[in-house]
Amino acid sequence: MIKVENVTKYYGKRLAVDNISFSVKKGEIVGFVGPNGAGKTTTMRMLTGFLAPNDGEVEIAGHDMLRHSLEARRYVGYLPESIPLYTDITVRSYLEFAARLRGLEPARVKDRIDAVVSLCHLEEYVDSIIGKLSKGFRQRVGVAQAIIHEPQVLILDEPTIGIDPLQVAMTRQLIRDLGKDRTILFSTHILTEVSTVCERVIVMHQGKIVAQDRIEKLATILQGGRRLRIEISGPAEQVASRLRKVDGVTQVSTKGSRHVVECSGAQDPRAAIMQAMVESGWTVLSLEALAMSLEDVFLKLIARQEAKQ
C-alpha cells in the first residue's frame, strides 16, 4: 500500500531524509519511531504529496505520488503534526469544509460526516466550536477530517503528542480500530507507545532508517539471544552449574533461588532446562523470558548506527 524507494530530501543544503526505503502492506499498522529531528515528519509529508522528494519514488496504492499525485492523494488521509484547525467554527462545519476540499459529492457529505463522527466518538461535540474543545478532542477532529474521503491509507504524525494520558489511551484505541480495515503509518518519538498499538516498527535516526522489524524480533536481534529468569528450588550452586551445561546456555548469574540465564543466538533451551532440572530432582518454580525494553532497543540501535559511521 505504501512503497518508498531510495527517497532523499534536502532542505536547502540540509539533508533531512537520506536515501530511505520501506514498504507497508495492506492492513498493517506500522509505528514510525525516532527522536525529534529524525526525519519522520519530512517523510510523511512526502508520502502525502505535500513535499516532493529530491530523489527516489513514493507509491500509494500503486499510484506514483509524483507523476499521478491527484490519484495517489485520493488514497491517503493525513493528520499533520500541527493540525491547521479553524478554531472559530463547529466540528460539523469544519468536516463539511474538509469533505469539500477532498472533492466529495455533496450528496455523500452528510453520511460521511455521520460516519467519521461516530468512528471518532465525537457525537457529543459535533456542534461545538473547535476552539472550545480540549487538545485530545481536537486531535480526534483531525483524525475525522483525515478519513472523511474513506482513504485506505492513513498517515498520522504524532497523533498523541501533547494530550493527557486518558485521551492518549483513547487515541491509541482509535488507531487500533481504524487499523482494522486500513493501512496505517503513525509516528511517535515515544517508544513505549508503539508496542501497544502496532506489531511492526520502522526506526529512523538522523534521516536514515536504522531498523525495521517486528518489535519482539528487534529486541531479540539486538540482544543476540534470549535471556531467561528462572526460579528453582534446589541447591543454588549445583543448580547453576547444571544450568551452564545445558546446550545453548552461555551464562548464568545466580541470586538465591533465582537464576538469570543468557542463551546464545536463536536457540531456545527452555525445554532442555526443564528436563535437566527434573532429572536432577529439582523443581522449576517459574520461568520467564526477559524482554528488553523498547527504550533499550532504541538506544542500542542508535549506538549501533553511530558506530557504523
Ligand X SMILES: Nc1ncnc2c1ncn2[C@@H]1O[C@H](COP(=O)(O)OP(=O)(O)O)[C@@H](O)[C@H]1O
Residues 3-32 that bind ligand X (CB under 6 A): 11, 14, 16
Query: Exactly one of 19, 37, 71, 240 binds ligand X (CB under 6 A); which one?
Result: 37
79 makes contact with ligand X (CB under 6 A): no
Residues 28-67 that bind Mg ion (CB under 5 A): 40-41
| Phi, then psi, of 170 in degrees rounded to 5 | -70, -40
Residue 36 or 105 with smaller CB distance to ligand X? 36
Q: Which stretch binds ligand X (CB under 6 A): 37-45, 72-80, 117-125, 284-292?
A: 37-45
Q: What is the chain's length?
A: 309
Residue 40 or 102 with smaller CB distance to Mg ion? 40
Pick what 38 binds: ligand X, Mg ion, none; C-beta below 5 to 8 Å, kind-dependent: ligand X
Residue 45 or 259 with smaller CB distance to ligand X? 45
Q: What is the 3-state secondary structure (H, E, C) of the chain?
A: CEEEEEEEEEECCEEEEEEEEEEECCCCEEEEECCCCCCHHHHHHHHCCCCCCCEEEEEECCEECCCCHHHHHHCEEEECCCCCCCCCCEHHHHHHHHHHHCCCCHHHHHHHHHHHHHHCCCHHHCCCEHHHCCHHHHHHHHHHHHCCCCCCEEEEECCCCCCCHHHHHHHHHHHHHHCCCCEEEEEECCHHHHHHHCCEEEEEECCEEEEEEEHHHHHHHHHCCCEEEEEEECCHHHHHHHHHCCCCEEEEEEECCEEEEEECCCCCCHHHHHHHHHHCCCEEEEEEECCCCHHHHHHHHHHHHHHHC
C-alpha cell of 44?
510523511
36 makes contact with ligand X (CB under 6 A): yes
Q: How far is the CB of 7 from ligand X (least distance, A)?
A: 12
212 makes contact with ligand X (CB under 6 A): no
Query: Exactly one of 30, 31, 40, 202 binds ligand X (CB under 6 A); which one?
Result: 40
226 makes contact with ligand X (CB under 6 A): no
Q: How far is the CB of 54 from ligand X (least distance, A)?
A: 13
80 makes contact with ligand X (CB under 6 A): no
Q: Number of C-alpha atoms within 13 angstroms, CB side, residue 285?
A: 8
Q: How many residues bind Mg ion (CB under 5 A)?
A: 2
Q: Which stretch binds ligand X (CB under 6 A): 18-26, 36-44, 135-143, 163-171?
A: 36-44
Pick what 16 binds: Mg ion, ligand X, none; C-beta below 5 to 8 Å, kind-dependent: ligand X
Q: 76-79 and 153-157 as β-strands: parallel, antiparallel, unpaired?
A: parallel
Q: How far is the CB of 119 from ligand X (least distance, A)?
A: 26
Q: How far is the CB of 11 from ligand X (least distance, A)?
A: 3
Residue 133 or 202 with smaller CB distance to ligand X? 202
Residue 53 or 269 with smaller CB distance to ligand X? 53
Report the interface residues with ligand X, using CB under 6 A.
11, 14, 16, 34, 36-42
